[in-house]
Structure 1
């Protein structure tokens, strides 16, 4: 349409020019114009009309086209800018999902439901070793913590809360071979800690010893002396919660995950974000379990582990620590048991992951460990006895006997200890 109008407009303009020219010539020569001036004017008007239509149509079309192009340009711009921006946000969200408090809270809530179910059922959980893996770590609260820093806190009820530390290889290396302190009594520590028998489905063995340990949230072998600076780094944990059914489960599994990283990366400057969150059901004073989040700065480790605070075959009141286990009391040891029970730090203190002190099947204290034969820096255990470490390994010779429990080899084995396969600078098999 615009082409036709343009053609008519052009033709009319040409006619108008020709008629206008003739009119001027005839007018100058005083000849008859025969309405040439009027016709030229009419042709000019017609030309303007059609040229206007053509121009207007072209303008309208061009405007519409321009609008379309602008729209497409805006769309392309949105596609180029907005979509990658959204993708970047989504990517960032995925990377930071584990660090989002709301995400972590949701995960912890779901894990707590499972822990309540397992503990109510007196279960060792899906692995039968008092832990299971959750996937990637959800570490939070590390913004202001640098290498070597740690933070222990209580919750609103005064119970041990989340424990955090940025672990270094130096702390691990410095804590090997001996205990760096004495476990502290956690909030909610039971008034009674009976010796019990716990039969493990996973190993087919039976543990005889104290039901509860003073369990580190971040253990001695990882944080050294710093792990003893606050009672908020300790919770009341069952013996299997501490070391599992085979001495490598429960909290010990999480700790060994970190230890294996250091062993594989000696003297590294990389660090580990290590975070343990005890999970309580309502206002109970003893946690149903914990979540341990571990993430290395080089990305080799990024894992979360749920630990179950229960004991197979024993019903526990998580508000008071009372239980239905039948206590095991040897008639020949009743007096010594009563004496040890009078001191909160002489029994069942256990390290967070290493299940410390003792195979608590005996009441032998560290002081009796001095009865061995000393030769230079080394002390040899008395005949028939061994020195038992916090990690449930036993040795015949040690440099620091006060850091071990000295007991008969048969008693150590009955409590689940095994002879160390190799020695170190502090102990020999």
Structure 2
């Protein structure tokens, strides 16, 4: 009888310790969830709840997996976007230390993975990029941009950039690549989940080299400095949403090369100076020139332009000349690419808009760097 009593006492003590341990784990989970409360009030859902078929619970499970770093960045993005701000660089991006990559274990060189979250929104896009993909993507764009989930009506707006002192007049929204055509080629057009609804300025920044373009050019410049290299680049873009909003407040772009030369995280801000955006509907409170449907969008290399940009110049503005395969614009004229860079000589004029220099600059185009297809 005495042995049974001792055994019972020991068992009771063990159960008490187990309960204490369980309480500590729950407290830790709740503390972590409080960091993420700006994303979802129900982010304290347990792992076991993630298997529930309910849409709201499934969405909660997806949002609860956000990291502390992402929660911190989202909080910053909400502040910037609510303030219609271009961020600390005034160019719609800023850097945030080293890359924080995940889930690349099953991806090999040249492979991609595009997924949606529980609400059907574009989620993290991943790719292991190669120099061969970069080389193959040169020239004209490799496909047609796809509608991202919840693509809204589009409006023409004015975005006045504090960084440059210039004003962009054109469509607010672009079909923005998470992983760009210039890096991935035609594979970048294989899924709508590689696209998000991004403002013009989110796409290319205030000076055509900011926003998502800054991240893309980081890798492009690496490839240019290391031609024909066997090095690969892990590239990961994570759109960050506030609660159940349909349009991201911004994105985290994590980039790391296999030789360690590239190792950075870039935060991209999805806002537009002077425009108050509703991130659920896609509407904005700035005075719009007109409203159109989705046919007017673009990706980071195919940004939409105002009607004046789309029209070709008449003969009264001067005729181009051709020599040795190169077509050179007449005096005062330029060829404007889909990424809004202008050149004076090009190999394939059909891929460009032929505008006066003043028209190009007023539309926000900047002088491009000479390459194998276009030069200044």
| Aligned equivalent of 1:362 | 308
| Aligned equivalent of 2:338 | 390
| Aligned equivalent of 1:151 | 113
Name the TM-score, length of structure 1 as normaliser.
0.67
Q: CA deviation at 1:393?
A: 1.5
| Aligned equivalent of 2:371 | 424
Q: CA deviation at 1:373?
A: 6.4
| C-alpha contact (below 8 Å) 2:130/2:232 kept by paired residues | yes
Structure 1 residues 111-144: Cα deviation after superposition (integer angstroms, max 9, x where no partner): 1111111101111111111111111111111101
| Aligned equivalent of 1:273 | 234
Q: How many residue pairs were aligned?
A: 310
- Indicate yes or no: 2:343 matched with 1:410: no
Q: CA deviation at 1:166?
A: 0.2
Q: Distance in 2 between matches of 1:173 and 1:154?
A: 29
Q: CA deviation at 1:400?
A: 2.7
| Aligned equivalent of 2:161 | 200
CA 1:406–1:348 in 2, change beyond 3 Å: closer, same or farther? farther
| C-alpha contact (below 8 Å) 1:359/1:412 kept by paired residues | no
| Aligned equivalent of 1:8 | none
- Indicate yes or no: 2:258 matched with 1:310: no
Q: Distance in 1 between matches of 2:321 and 2:66?
A: 53
| C-alpha contact (below 8 Å) 1:131/1:307 kept by paired residues | yes
CA 1:106–1:261 in 2, change beyond 3 Å: closer, same or farther? same
| Aligned equivalent of 1:114 | 76
Q: Distance in 1 between matches of 2:137 and 2:320?
A: 24
| Aligned equivalent of 2:25 | none
Matched residue SS, 1:207: strand
| C-alpha contact (below 8 Å) 2:84/2:276 kept by paired residues | yes
Alignment of 1:3-402 (within 5 A): 105-191=67-153, 193-328=154-289, 341=292, 344-345=294-295, 347-351=296-300, 354=301, 356-360=302-306, 362=308, 364=310, 377-381=325-329, 385-402=333-350
Q: CA deviation at 1:402?
A: 3.7
Q: CA deviation at 1:415?
A: 2.1
Matched residue SS, 2:179: coil
| C-alpha contact (below 8 Å) 2:240/2:252 kept by paired residues | yes
CA 1:214–1:366 in 2, change beyond 3 Å: closer, same or farther? farther
Structure 1 residues 221-251: Cα deviation after superposition (integer angstroms, max 9, x where no partner): 1101111111111111001101111111111
Larger Rg: 1
Deviates more, 1:131-140 or 1:385-394: 385-394
Q: CA deviation at 1:397?
A: 3.1
| C-alpha contact (below 8 Å) 2:309/2:363 kept by paired residues | no
| C-alpha contact (below 8 Å) 2:231/2:258 kept by paired residues | yes
| Aligned equivalent of 2:6 | none
| C-alpha contact (below 8 Å) 2:340/2:364 kept by paired residues | yes
| Aligned equivalent of 1:50 | none
Q: Which has the higher helix share?
A: 1
Q: Distance in 2 between matches of 1:308 and 1:146?
A: 30
| C-alpha contact (below 8 Å) 1:209/1:362 kept by paired residues | no
Structure 1 residues 379-416: Cα deviation after superposition (integer angstroms, max 9, x where no partner): 45577543212332112332333433333322210122
Please list every run of 5 or more consecutive structure 2 residues that lacks an aligned counterpart in the other structure: 1-62
CA 1:306–1:361 in 2, change beyond 3 Å: closer, same or farther? farther
Q: CA deviation at 1:366?
A: 8.8
Q: CA deviation at 1:378?
A: 4.0
Question: Comparing both chains, which one has the higher relative contact order based on Cα–Cα distances under 8 Å and sequence gaps of 6 or more?
Answer: 2
CA 1:160–1:299 in 2, change beyond 3 Å: closer, same or farther? same
Cα root mean square deviation, aligned: 2.6
